[in-house]
Structure 1
């Protein structure tokens, strides 16, 4: 069964390398570079979700999805809209109702950052700012009950911005587990890759055994 790992904004597919190194069944792990999926389309959340949805149509079903931050939001929407296609879901540092104040502040920071700091993620400064703007009104709060697959919520203990949302997700989605990883912030896949890999191994072994 395929396992799709979706990176966050400011990351690339290589951000999963150390986590994957600690995981089993590596041949079944897919780490798409999200912004490459867009090809020549305008950078917006709607286009990114559509591109990811099209990517999934090429895969045998069901599959597992693990997403961090932006990747988690894409995974969350996909599972809500395609509940029978996903075997299990892992959400890391993920919001389900966009914190508009935080996102607007992030865009202010982006405006102040030099262009060269965006080149490593394959997304320009203007594109990053536009992507954030296109996400401001996202709200999945009233659709969480549609999720029927097993869900694991992961959050870094130091990820203050996403702790509350993680706790709320664990209460509102049926059949959900949650854990907080000590000494890790938001980018759990890079700050605690070995521990995250072990968590994913245990969870995926259990959920894959349903088939």
Structure 2
């Protein structure tokens, strides 16, 4: 598979809408592996790099640019209608994509997303980054310098104007132990018409890695609705 192609594509066994899974800052597409294994065969699955976070790129990019580039990449994959599930910074990119391209996004699942990153969350992220072993970052193909730059871009993002334009049915998820993320999750749910908020008890901020079984069940329930 060439570097420009999304990771882990699977061929559908039925006409279910393809599902695109977007990782967060500090993660790589492989962060979705446990979820992909559980959903394998149910629909076409794609886990692309979020634009600006690929290790070979020289800089992270603003949310608007990341959204536009992602839409172009997905259309080059032949997708004209898709479901989106996204984590962390990926959730902010997904929200902007759903707002800008309602023709492309059928359903939207946001995990640990924010409308704009509060100072409290920024402080928590900075503290976690200082404590994070370099070896763990190396597994995701990033350095502390690159991750710091990506978090700085995320701190400047603001989706306030995008939320009223999201037309896709939306499920907002947040871990019960993710106290820093719960205010952001509620702001997303309040700002998107008809959005539902679900707190996953006992889970932390990275549901795709920490609670893949629970996330798989929630995805099936939400995405398989008529």
**TM-score normalized with structure 2 length:** 0.81
Whether 2:206 is the aligned partner of 1:190: answer no
Distance 1:49 1:87, change over 3 A: closer
Aligned equivalent of 2:102: 83
Whether 2:195 is the aligned partner of 1:179: answer no
Instruction: Encode CA deviations 1:148-184: one digit per residue, 9 max, x unaligned.
Output: 1100111111110111121222222112122111111
Aligned equivalent of 1:72: 91
Aligned equivalent of 2:13: none
Whether 2:22 is the aligned partner of 1:3: answer no
Aligned equivalent of 2:37: 21
Greater mean alpha carbon deviation, residues 83-92 or residues 108-117: 108-117
* Deviation at residue 77 of structure 1 after TM alignment: 1.2
3-state SS of paired residue (2:145): helix
Distance 1:112 1:199, change over 3 A: closer
Is contact 1:92–1:154 with CA below 8 Å preserved after alignment? yes
Whether 2:66 is the aligned partner of 1:54: answer no
User: Separation in 2 of the partners of 1:118 and 1:48?
Assistant: 21
Residue in structure 1 matching 2:151, options 127, 132, 137:
132
Greater mean alpha carbon deviation, residues 143-152 or residues 94-103: 94-103
Is contact 1:90–1:152 with CA below 8 Å preserved after alignment? yes
Q: Which has the higher helix share?
A: 1
Gaps of at least 5 residues in structure 2 are: 1-16
User: Separation in 1 of the partners of 2:143 and 2:68?
Assistant: 20
Is contact 1:66–1:91 with CA below 8 Å preserved after alignment? yes
* Deviation at residue 25 of structure 1 after TM alignment: 3.8
3-state SS of paired residue (2:196): strand
**TM-score normalized with structure 1 length:** 0.86
Instruction: Encode CA deviations 1:123-146: one digit per residue, 9 max, x unaligned.
Output: 122111111112222111132110
Is contact 1:5–1:67 with CA below 8 Å preserved after alignment? yes
Greater mean alpha carbon deviation, residues 25-34 or residues 6-15: 25-34
Residue in structure 2 matching 1:107, options 109, 122, 126:
126
User: Separation in 2 of the partners of 1:187 and 1:22?
Assistant: 17
Count residues in correspondence. 207
User: Separation in 2 of the partners of 1:49 and 1:148?
Assistant: 16
* Deviation at residue 111 of structure 1 after TM alignment: 5.1
* Deviation at residue 72 of structure 1 after TM alignment: 0.6
Aligned equivalent of 1:43: 59
